[in-house]
């Protein structure tokens, strides 16, 4: 895993944008695996700003998202579909029909997981963007998820529900289950870019980079990926013991 430590969140977002830009410049019809959460917001803002200023086009870009809450409609402002439109898709010229996410209202969840796995197999991702949960989860793969698992439904842990409650009016409104790509789907991407910001991620980052590779810390699987970049700000990297590249 290539580790880049930045002094702050703004620099992290700029470095992440550089990685994303390189992928898009090389391949204007690239498949981008995208993520929700607050961590990628700075990157998405830079993509939107760059599109506005330079006219960089996303018309041939395709996007697949990691996960979606179970039981929320795409119009619900807490759904990840809504999040992606609001924070990125509506601000660039990507075609909405080229953007994919699990259907939170699918009547048959098992069928929906199979549909999504087939879609992912047909659209190999050139890059997969990730954040990391405080317990080391990636997408909604909670500790204990087998590494060979594909898209599945998951019961969210109390800690993830509590961490995500900040986006809802009350903790009772946070869905208790979600669809998520599995570790195997994530690992299949050609390149992985994982971002981590803030002190509350420091323990998870330490385990991911320097700990044992174990399903108890889902992000540790990324140590095995041939092309994975972690960009962490100084707070998220504060418990790392190794000597890593510092970017200004
Ligand atoms: C959620 C999402 C993850 C995300 C994580 C961290 O659980 N399913 O994809 O990485 O939260 O979120 P944040 O970036 O807001 O800290």
67 has catalytic annotation: yes
Structural domain containing residue 73: 2-246
99 C-beta closer than 6 A to ligand 1: no
Bridge partners for 196 per DSSP:
232
Statement: residue 248 has pLDDT above 80: no
Structural domains of the chain, count: 1
Q: pLDDT for 95-146, tens place per residue? A: 999 999 999 999 999 999 999 999 999 999 999 999 999 999 999 999 999 9
Specify the CATH number for the domain of residue 120.
Answer: 3.40.50.1360
Please tell me the distance between residue 3's alpha carbon and the centre of ligand 1 in angstroms. Answer: 20
127 C-beta closer than 6 A to ligand 1: no
Q: pLDDT for 2-45, tens place per residue? A: 999 999 999 999 999 999 999 999 999 999 999 999 999 999 99
Give the Å distances, CA to CA, from 159 to 4, 15, 99, 136, 166: 27, 29, 29, 11, 12
pTM recorded for the entire structure: 0.97
Residue given tokens 């909405």 in the structure block: 96
Bridge partners for 6 per DSSP:
233, 247
| Atom 12 of ligand 1, nearest CA residue | 37
Q: With beta carbons less than 8 A apart as the criterion, state whether 12 and 195 touch.
A: yes
133 C-beta closer than 6 A to ligand 1: yes
């Amino acid at each position: 895993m290539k580790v880049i430590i930045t002094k702050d969140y703004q620099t992290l977002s700029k470095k992440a944008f550089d990685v994303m830009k390189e992928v898009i410049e090389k391949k204007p019809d690239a498949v981008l695996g995208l993520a929700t959460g607050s961590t990628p917001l700075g990157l998405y803002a830079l993509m939107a700003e760059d599109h506005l200023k330079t006219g960089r086009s996303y018309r041939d870009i395709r996007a697949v998202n990691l996960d979606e809450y179970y039981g929320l409609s795409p119009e619900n402002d807490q759904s990840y579909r809504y999040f992606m439109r609001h924070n990125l898709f509506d601000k660039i010229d990507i075609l909405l029909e080229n953007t994919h996410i699990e259907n939170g209202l699918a009547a048959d969840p098992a069928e929906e997981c199979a549909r999504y796995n087939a879609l992912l197999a047909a659209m190999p991702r050139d890059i997969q963007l990730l954040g990391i949960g405080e317990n080391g989860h990636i997408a909604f793969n909670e500790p204990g998820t087998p590494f060979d698992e594909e898209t599945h439904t998951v019961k969210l842990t109390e800690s993830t529900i509590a961490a995500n409650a900040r986006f809802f009016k009350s903790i009772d409104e946070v869905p208790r289950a979600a669809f998520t790509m599995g570790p195997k789907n994530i690992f299949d991407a050609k390149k992985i870019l994982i971002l981590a910001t803030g002190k509350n991620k420091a323990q998870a980052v330490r385990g991911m980079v320097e700990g044992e590779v174990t399903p108890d810390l889902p992000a540790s699987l990324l140590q095995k990926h041939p092309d994975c970049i972690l960009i962490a700000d100084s707070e998220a990297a504060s418990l790392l013991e190794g000597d890593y590249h510092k970017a200004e």
